[in-house]
Structure 1
């Protein structure tokens, strides 16, 4: 995807999030007569007119500083309007909850909201948004920004079409890849067609087209009577008839649609037996459509030595390499910047070739554009990234009511198939990284809204600049770092905190950032001498926008009572907080979707959790003796999915005979634990517990620990019919069990 299209897509998506917020169903029942409808409607109309010219603005920003400033102001306004609307929706939900509890009619809620709207602060906010919108519209006309039909300017730079002409006298580091493709070309495998597709897959700039060209021109494939080179372009449109007429002239085409591919391949079915089609693509979806599987040749990154050879060939050319005294420094910088990507090595080499001064080379290699991505890569887990997207409002409900988590999962897989993410080389499963160049592109598209804080002394303490920052990451949070950002009052995200300095003044800094949606204070509790979070202040409850709270791996002892005020909270991560014994009442967390209390030594579950109707994942349900922790509470969580552990089942002595889990069809794994070291209830009670905990037939993995009965209930005796998709079953410390199944 070209850079300008990447930015247009990202910015268009952020505006769409705002439009979805403007049509928030939470607001709609109450806006009539309150005055807010007369405010929201003009906002949407004006923003739609502005969105129509965003494509044109994105193309002109590189050469027109005024356009760049216009886009920057538009982005900041979009953030601010969304924050205001979120405040409206949250206030509505809070007041509705209060009044409905008191059995008050909805018109009273609307009346309350109307009076709330009339206060001076709210009027001031609305007037300020109106002023900024009007200013953007006026500047749009002065800048000559126009709506572009089809979304792309005719003047936009087109991707250079690949040809069969060899640009390089020698291709470095691809001998093994070339040999493998030639081997695949020569193999005859059973097929219902006269041709076979050979896919070459890899991220942009890794050398797929160069590799295909090498194979195309190799003497080993001269036995093909006819060879045609077809170039792929994002700007081409699929036209079967046109391709049929012009393919002998090597017309360019692209298809990622199954029906189009079926139509296109029809003529090749009558071609000469043994024909081959080499396809280069970033997208595994294309491979699947064309071959029916994901089998392909994946092009890997170059080694540091190979990358240096590519760079040196373009950077030095006729220059005497021996005249560069800092050669080892240059080599290290090139290796870290290009990170195995041949296109990056070639481009950087070409850039430096035209610069004769070695001092200038150092300036370019030390350029700020490369900062923050060189020393380490953040490993990303798909589920956590999707939850962060949700917390930031980037995923909205679909018309067909697909779960937000599933929509986000599709987005992630699409980005993975396009090589924007890569599988991590670490030992951790299901973790991914982002290539440095993709990271640089994302940071550039984000403008001034993101900031990585490592050295507070480098902060340019300007109020206007700091107020633009929306997303902050840092490796170790401290009072001095936060004080340096005292003007960054619009922060939405504080993320990637691996430790917290001693004496961190949470009551001081948290109230400053009332717009926070994501707060991650994850520590390393089991790393010796690493300072940790000890407690959160009561002011945490003032963060009404907060959706994602993580204090995992810390020495936190308890959560404050005010946590119950976080009505928008969707994700609460307490993993490995081993010192927490009890959670405060949490009945107001009606939007909570994910609770991770893995390795938390809870005595019982929190009061009010029966109100969590939106709960999707629960790592552990601790059965307690209080009514709030009885098994019956699990009936309220109709949408549970993934993995669930139910522990301390020895406390389950009083419960309804109704089945609890059999309607939860998205549960994959279930672990049922009795503490066999404690005194357990009678065998009959335990057997009844197992009976009501019969899972849905879709379950894939089942574990039972500490059960002291002599036999299992009937559903465990006939797994072939009760759990038809079961793959694994583990039974531990069931000492009195006479037979397994």
Structure 2
């Protein structure tokens, strides 16, 4: 592998890994375990050495000393040592846990036994690991980079010196941007009411990958005489690494003052000064090399420009497409690469110093291959041209494409430093994801889902409290695309979102829709009179083939076999299954595999009829038994269930994370299920349970813990036969209850007492029951 990519790969992996490893050691040291002072000191020493190595590796990346093969070998050795420290910590955790449990079983209470003996083999491994890490740190000094640690406060060097750009350009050396130049000048010099897009937008984002020529093109536009005549004032600011609204505002004020130094750093005074400088002036402001899409920083910067003179414009050059979504932006101008002719022209200019090349037959023969290498990038054309001019002799051209042209160190104006700059701007967790891609062949076509799964398998994705790991991985991938690191390849067979709006005559979706196997979102507007209003939102032939579908609010068993849900395990949010009376057996119900739908948060199980109890009652019980959801469910609704009893999972294996339960229209149910053990349950609605006459200990459950520990709202509605509500005196229950709502419970005679802070609402035929 090429040295730059190799070092990036190793460094990209190891930096976030060290962050995690240090956190794991810190957590381990906080646990209550006691070993000999020497062992504890060694473990602490390993932790502190890891902390030192973090700074060292960060410096290795920042110094970009990636052409030193000795440094690459050192990084490999460091990676091995870090993995050994991680394995050691796993063994330590396991051993301490085993010994602690063993000590508990033996009920040892004397103080001498409080010290855990880890065994000589493990103690020696701890000592060896510490010595290895210490040696790795010492070897860092051999690269003679450590003496530069104090250049900056805190000892950390900058990642890269900010790239500097200005408004001047040598137009005689420019190729292939005449059409783009005319288009942009037309946009900038047209009045706001002449544009078809948002008339309030006055910022033109120029978006393109690194090295495509964004800055050069804007320099051309900025210097054009039509632009100079149109604008009263022109200003050029190179933003580069840090988007600091205060710094940028100050530079704009100085530029508007024709270089006069601005003394103040007071934010309010800077904003007032900027507003005053630009008042009654039609200005052009260029913000070159912008990376940030921080909405707050942008709002702070643009606030003084709210009363700008009509016709004023701001041009932003960026490789981050998300910048174009900031409020106030026009439609982005996407800058593509040069044509094949222009790419080759620029290449030959730099390779032959402007000499004629038509007589050089080998150039003509290799024309197509050279253009493929350039890929439309002006920077690549200049870089390759200069390389060939300085390195190749007359007879060496055929060997040109066989060599690894990117191995050589290049100047900061060339393509590899720009690619490295993009890499340096990535946070640590994205660096390792990007570095991982270097193990694949060049021009490899990545599949988003496959790559995210590989990142997951490597442990690169930081899990979140509410988001699933796959979604976080998709955000990583999209971020890399927006930074121009990945290029999106168009694929007409990769439709992921289908939205149908204002389709007045739509009656059925085409049968072939099931072939859209990558479809994730299917939205059918509820206003469609002939489709959605008839409850046919899910009447999609072969819907079970859409295994990546993430949104499906309603699934009607009148139109589909419930088994079609079997492989649809990417569903999330809310799923309402209707028409369950159409499910013919428990075998058919089990094919839905609801227990595998781990991304669902809300599940609604609904029958459509409440008549015919006999045979239907027993079938409903068997069907509901097979519809046990995944433990991640937060809200559960069961409606129009015709069974006399509830299935086992409702009483014994109800999802423990449930926050809301609604039991509606279950007329033949004789008693309520046991729900008192659900720790997170906050809201419980019980409605139209015509068969329930008594609520007692079966409702609270047999657990000795506090019953309904988190319940805040409890509702009973339309229960005409309910007479008694009792609870055992020794049971503690409802400590968090704030509202008890009771409606149309006319025969209820007794109920438990509640503290005065509980709001009790009894309406519509509910008499005040005795406590």
SS at match of 1:239: helix
Alignment-derived partner of residue 223 in structure 1: 230
**Could you say which residue in structure 1 is the equivalent of 2:447?**
380
Matched with 1:416 is 481
CA contact (8 A) 1:194 1:275 kept: no
**In 2: Cα distance, 1:31 partner to 1:285 partner:** 49
Partner Cα distance (1:218, 1:426) in 2: 39
Alpha-carbon shift at residue 230 of structure 1 (Å): 1.8
Matched-pair contact (CA < 8 Å) for 2:175–2:342:
yes
Match of 2:15 in 1: 12
Structure 2 partner of 1:210: 216
- 3-state secondary structure, aligned to 1:200: strand
- The alpha-carbon deviation at position 277 of structure 1 amounts to 0.6
Counterpart Cα distance in 2 of 1:166 and 1:277:
19
Deviation, structure 1 residue 197:
0.3
Distance (whole Å) between structure 2 residues aligned to residue 37 and residue 412 of structure 1: 41
Deviation at 1:243, TM superposition (A): 3.0
**Number of the residue aligned with 1:302:** 338
Structure 1 unaligned blocks of 5 or more: 432-574, 577-601, 607-611, 645-649, 668-682, 697-741
In structure 2, distance between residues paired with 1:417 and 1:165? 28
Distance 1:198 1:328, change over 3 A: same
Whether the 8 Å CA contact 2:596–2:630 is kept in 1: the answer is no
Once the two structures are TM-superposed, the CA of residue 54 in structure 1 deviates from its matched residue by 2.8
Residue of 655, 659, 677 corresponding to 2:624? 655
Aligned ranges for residues 8-47 of structure 1 at < 5 Å? 11-23=14-26, 33=35, 40-47=43-50
Q: Is the 8 A contact 1:324 1:358 kept in 2?
A: no
Partner of 1:242: 250
The structural deviation recorded for 1:235 is 5.4
Structure 2 CA distance for aligned equivalents of residues 229 and 666 of structure 1: 55
Q: Relative to structure 1, is the Cα distance of residues 229 and 303 closer, same or farther in structure 2, using a 3 angstrom cutoff?
A: same
Residue deviations 1:116-156, cap 9 Å, x none?
x6374x55654442232111222234545154547897687
Partners of 1:337 and 1:236 lie apart in 2 by 33
SS at match of 1:277: strand
C-alpha separation in 2, matches of 1:376 and 1:43: 41
Compared CA separation, residues 54 and 652, structure 1 to 2 (3 A): same
The equivalent residue for 1:446 is none
Does the CA-based 8 Å contact 2:358-2:364 persist in structure 1?
A: no
**Is 2:455 the partner of 1:389?**
yes
Deviation readout 1:84-121 (Å, 9 max, x if unpaired):
5456668999x89xx99xx989999xx9x978x6374x
Residue 183 of structure 1 deviates from its aligned partner by 3.3
The equivalent position to 1:185 in structure 2, one of 184, 188, 192, is 188
Q: Distance in 2 between matches of 1:403 and 1:308?
A: 47
Q: Which residue of 2 aligns with 1:336?
A: 372
Instruction: Map 1:130-209; keep pairs closer than 5 Å.
Output: 130-142=130-142, 143=144, 145=146, 147=149, 149=152, 158-169=161-172, 171-189=174-192, 196-209=202-215
Distance 2:483 2:55 in 1: 27
Cα contact 1:195–1:268 (8 A) shared by 2: no
Q: 1:281, CA displacement in angstroms?
A: 0.8
TM-score when normalising by structure 1: 0.52
1:273 partner SS:
coil
Q: Give the secondary-structure state (helix, strand or coil) at the position aligned to 1:158.
A: coil
Count the aligned residue pairs: 491
Number of the residue aligned with 2:351 = 315
Alignment partner of 1:429 out of 489, 494, 497: 494
Q: Secondary structure at the match of 2:175?
A: coil
Please report how far the alpha carbon of residue 182 of structure 1 lies from its aligned counterpart in structure 2 after TM superposition: 2.7
- Separation in 1 of the partners of 2:400 and 2:92? 47
Aligned in 2, Cα 1:634/1:56: closer, same or farther, shift over 3 Å? same
Given that residues 194 and 274 in structure 1 are in contact (C-alpha distance below 8 angstroms), is that contact kept between their aligned partners in structure 2?
no
Distance 1:395 1:20, change over 3 A: farther
Q: Residue deviations 1:567-616, cap 9 Å, x none?
A: xxxxxxxx99xxxxxxxxxxxxxxxxxxxxxxxxx99999xxxxx9x999
Residue 548 (structure 2) aligns with: none
Tell me the distance in 2 between the aligned counterparts of 1:38 and 1:218: 69
Residue from 286, 293, 306 that aligns with 1:269 = 306
1:275 CA drift (Å)? 0.5
State the shift of 1:657 in Å: 9.8
Report the equivalent of 1:118.
Answer: 119
Q: Distance in 2 between matches of 1:329 and 1:87?
A: 62
Equivalent pair of 1:604/1:624 in contact (CA under 8 Å):
no
Q: Name the CA shift for 1:624/1:170 in 2 (closer, same or farther; >3 Å).
A: farther
Indicate if the aligned counterparts of 2:33 and 2:96 stay in contact, CA closer than 8 A: no
Distance 1:74 1:402, change over 3 A: same
SS of 1:229's equivalent in the other structure is strand
SS in 1 for 2:314: strand
Distance (whole Å) between structure 2 residues aligned to residue 318 and residue 310 of structure 1: 9
Retained in 2: the 8 A contact 1:334–1:345? no
CA distance in structure 1 between the aligned counterparts of 2:364 and 2:337, rounded to whole angstroms: 21
Task: Indicate the structure (1 or 2) with the bigger Cα radius of gyration.
Answer: 2
Taking the aligned partners of 1:105 and 1:187, their CA distance within structure 2 comes to 86
Cα drift, residue 172 of structure 1: 3.4
Give the aligned partner of residue 390 of structure 2. Answer: 354
Deviation, 1:198, is 0.5
8 A Cα contact 1:337 1:374, kept in partner: no
Superposed counterparts of 1:31-110, under 5 Å? 33=35, 40-58=43-61, 59=63, 61-62=65-66, 66-85=70-89
1:281-296 correspondence runs (5 A) = 281-291=318-328, 295-296=331-332
Deviation at 1:297, TM superposition (A): 1.3
2:233 counterpart of 1:233:
no
Instruction: Summarize the Cα distance change of 1:367–1:152 in structure 2 as closer, same or farther, 3 Å threshold.
Output: farther
Instruction: Measure, in 2, the Cα distance between the counterparts of 1:312 and 1:656.
Output: 75
Q: Secondary structure at the match of 1:165?
A: coil
- 1:352-376, CA deviations, whole angstroms, 9 ceiling, x for partnerless residues? 1123414555555322467997774
Tell me the SS of whatever aligns to 2:485.
coil
Q: 1:265 to 1:202 in 2, by over 3 A?
A: same
Partner Cα separation in structure 1 for residue 454 and residue 39 of structure 2: 29
Relative distance call for 1:64 and 1:377 in structure 2 (3 A) is closer
Q: Which residue in 2 is equivalent to 1:469?
A: none
User: Which secondary structure state, in structure 2, belongs to the residue aligned with residue 205 of structure 1?
Assistant: coil
Q: How does 1:580-729 map to 2 (within 5 A)?
A: 630=590, 634=594, 639-640=599-600, 653-656=622-625, 660=629, 664=633
Aligned to 2:549: none
1:260 counterpart = 2:261 = no
Q: Shift of the alpha carbon at 1:12?
A: 3.0
Q: Secondary structure at the match of 2:234?
A: coil
Residues 140, 312 of structure 1: alpha-carbon distance in 2 compared, 3 angstrom cutoff: same
Contact 1:178–1:211 under 8 Å retained in 2? yes
Task: Show CA shifts across 1:233-289 (max 9, x none).
Answer: 215754256335423247988654333322322333333211111110112332223
C-alpha distance in structure 2 between counterparts of 1:366 and 1:228, whole Å: 46
Q: Secondary structure at the match of 2:371?
A: helix
Deviation at 1:199, TM superposition (A): 0.5
Q: 3-state DSSP class of the match of 1:164?
A: coil
CA contact (8 A) 1:605 1:629 kept: no
Give the distance between the partners of 2:620 and 2:188, measured in 1 at CA: 65
Matches within 5 A, 1:526-605: none
